[in-house]
Amino acid sequence: MSVKSIGNFEHALHVANEWIKELSDRPEIGTEHQAYVVLRVVLHTIRDRLRVDEVAHLSAQLPMLVRGFFFDGWKPPGEDPTANESTRDLLQDVGGRLDRLTEIEPEDALFLVYELMFRKLSPGEMKYVDRALPYDLLFPWWARLGIR
């Protein structure tokens, strides 16, 4: 008996690999392994700053395999997780999560994944990503991306 491929799984793998490949092509990242680490860390950081309903809406737009590691280890928050967080706190959190995994700077990691999501997700879904990040970080990014 031969094993037949299942088209949906192949497509899911292909789309997840596209996301990782696009990140790895950036000189700040360099390898596909580092791109995976950066994507995972930044997605977890964003996820942990969203309400449960926002996590559900955002996850629906992610490729199936990316959605899988987006939810890996998730503990739904009991209250509004984004209240009064500073850019400094956010960057320290990302830096701590990246520690010993890659040399990329936390702000670069955040921006590169934000830029990827900006290209891949609908504007309506990006509002959830924007809600998770401090506006003083977003304003220069929006200027770089030519939005708002």
Domain boundaries, the chain: 7-145
Task: Please list, in sequence order, all residues whose beta carbon lies within 8 angstroms of the beta carbon of residue 44, skipping any fewer than 6 positions away.
Answer: 70, 72, 73, 74, 97
Residue 132 has pLDDT above 90, yes or no: no
Q: How confident is the model at residue 58 (pLDDT cuts 50, 70, 90)?
A: very high
Pick the CATH number of 7-145 from 3.40.50.150, 3.40.50.300, 1.10.490.110, 3.40.605.10: 1.10.490.110
Whole-number average pLDDT of the chain: 88
Q: Whole-angstrom Cα distance, residue 7 to residue 42? A: 29
Please give the pLDDT value at position 34: 93
Residue 138 has pLDDT above 70, yes or no: yes
Residue 85 has pLDDT above 90, yes or no: no
